[in-house]
């Protein structure tokens, strides 16, 4: 049976491992490194968190490990339970307890986590991003305000980014948009601080658009180990950014249904040539 791996924070119990009976000898930082090394061989890890035992228990630590893949978590549990791993005494490993009555809404991954997940399943050269438009909207607001002679109480940096994630091996493209609004005061913060915040806001807009594009993709892991990709536009989600952008920029804010068939129309609406920005990822 195929497994679906979304670009979302893993919250399912079958992707979570509880590890206890960890020795009190090493520090929490050393245990974190040892656990990450031991369990990452089974699949990509979302997080490794180490906690001290409760005061009423014997000294030591326990850990909560989250995988992106439920299959990887099951393999790790079977292979590591009651094994010594990196310490003299065996550790205990079990899958998280399922609570069917509790339902949580999936949270989007950060752009850096999306890229890590994409690199793991598609390869470093298996995908790319193409920036279609990167525009500062704060200048537009200032010009409109000058025309209306209404003073701005406080300025803000607004950047809009539209891009697409391209998966050439799967003949798939996923569009995404990002909007950043950072308040600031040019006079109080000075010109250097203003330039730094402007650059930061620009990067954040790109990162938000990249994360938004990845949210529409679903990784399908077949039993054979082969990878497929499903594109799922957010048809039922009303994006509030469309209303914010209306009147500031001529961009169609549809959910880009059937993107492969409407690509030419979508690109012509932006009326821009392709641009590539080599901007580093923020921490």
pLDDT in tens, 18-55: 999 998 888 899 999 999 999 999 999 999 999 999 88
Query: Are 37 and 135 found together in one domain?
Result: no
In a domain, 259, yes or no: no
In a domain, 237, yes or no: no
Cα separation, 96 vs 46, in Å, equals 15
According to the model, what pLDDT value does residue 104 have? Answer: 62
Q: How many domains does the chain have?
A: 2
Q: Yes or no: say if 255 and 235 are a contact pair by the CB < 8 Å rule.
A: yes
What does the block give as tokens for 156? 């803000």
pLDDT in tens, the chain (283 residues): 899 999 999 999 999 999 999 988 888 999 999 999 999 999 999 999 999 998 887 889 999 999 999 999 999 999 999 999 999 999 999 998 765 545 567 789 999 999 999 999 999 999 999 999 999 987 555 555 554 545 455 578 899 999 999 999 999 999 999 999 988 765 556 778 878 888 999 999 999 999 999 999 999 999 898 999 999 886 433 343 444 444 444 433 333 333 333 333 333 333 333 333 334 444 4
Query: Are 49 and 131 found together in one domain?
Result: no
In a domain, 252, yes or no: no
According to the model, what pLDDT value does residue 186 have? Answer: 54
In a domain, 261, yes or no: no
Query: Are 223 and 183 found together in one domain?
Result: yes
Query: Are 118 and 227 found together in one domain?
Result: yes
According to the model, what pLDDT value does residue 198 have? Answer: 87
According to the model, what pLDDT value does residue 159 have? Answer: 93
Query: Are 136 and 185 found together in one domain?
Result: yes
Query: Are 79 and 117 found together in one domain?
Result: no
Query: Are 82 and 33 found together in one domain?
Result: yes
According to the model, what pLDDT value does residue 157 have? Answer: 86
pLDDT in tens, 107-121: 899 999 999 999 999
Give the CATH number, domain containing residue 206.
3.30.390.80
The pTM assigned to this predicted structure is 0.76
Contacts 24+ apart (CB under 8 A), 47-56: 50/22, 52/28, 53/20
According to the model, what pLDDT value does residue 77 have? Answer: 97
Query: Are 84 and 118 found together in one domain?
Result: no
Query: Are 69 and 121 found together in one domain?
Result: no
Give the CATH number, domain containing residue 39.
3.30.70.330
Query: Are 85 and 134 found together in one domain?
Result: no
Query: Are 73 and 118 found together in one domain?
Result: no
* Residue closest to 40 by CA, chosen among 11, 66, 13, 2: 66
What does the block give as tokens for 169? 């091996």
In a domain, 277, yes or no: no
Q: How far is CA 176 from CA 113, 208, 256, in A?
A: 16, 8, 9
Query: Are 67 and 117 found together in one domain?
Result: no
In a domain, 125, yes or no: yes
Domain that holds residue 42: 9-95
- Which of 95, 130, 161 is where one domain is finished? 95
In a domain, 248, yes or no: no
According to the model, what pLDDT value does residue 261 have? Answer: 34
């Amino acid at each position: 049976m195929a497994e679906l791996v979304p670009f979302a924070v893993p919250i399912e119990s079958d992707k979570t491992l509880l590890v206890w009976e960890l020795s009190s000898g090493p520090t929490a930082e050393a245990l974190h490194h040892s656990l990450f090394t031991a369990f990452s061989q089974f699949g990509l890890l979302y997080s490794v968190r180490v906690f001290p035992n409760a005061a009423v228990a014997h000294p030591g630590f326990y850990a909560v490990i989250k995988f992106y893949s439920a299959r990887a978590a099951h393999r790790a549990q079977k292979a590591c339970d009651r094994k010594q791993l990196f310490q003299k005494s065996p550790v205990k490993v079990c899958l998280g307890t399922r609570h069917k009555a509790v339902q949580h809404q999936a949270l989007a991954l950060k752009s850096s986590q999306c890229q890590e997940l994409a690199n793991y399943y598609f390869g470093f050269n298996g995908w790319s991003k193409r920036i279609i438009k990167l525009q500062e909207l704060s200048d537009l607001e200032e010009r409109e305000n000058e025309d209306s002679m209404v003073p701005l109480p406080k300025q803000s940096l607004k950047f809009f980014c539209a891009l697409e994630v391209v998966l050439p091996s799967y003949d798939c493209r996923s569009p995404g948009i990002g909007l950043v609004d950072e308040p600031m005061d040019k006079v109080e913060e000075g010109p250097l601080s203003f330039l730094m915040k402007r650059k930061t806001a620009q990067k954040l807009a790109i990162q938000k658009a990249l994360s938004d594009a990845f949210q529409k993709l679903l990784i399908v892991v077949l039993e054979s180990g082969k990878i497929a990709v499903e594109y799922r536009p957010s048809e039922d989600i009303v994006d509030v950014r469309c209303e914010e952008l209306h009147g500031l920029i001529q961009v169609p804010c549809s959910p880009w249904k059937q993107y492969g068939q409407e690509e030419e129309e979508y690109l012509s609406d932006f009326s821009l040539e392709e641009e590539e920005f080599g901007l580093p990822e923020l921490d």
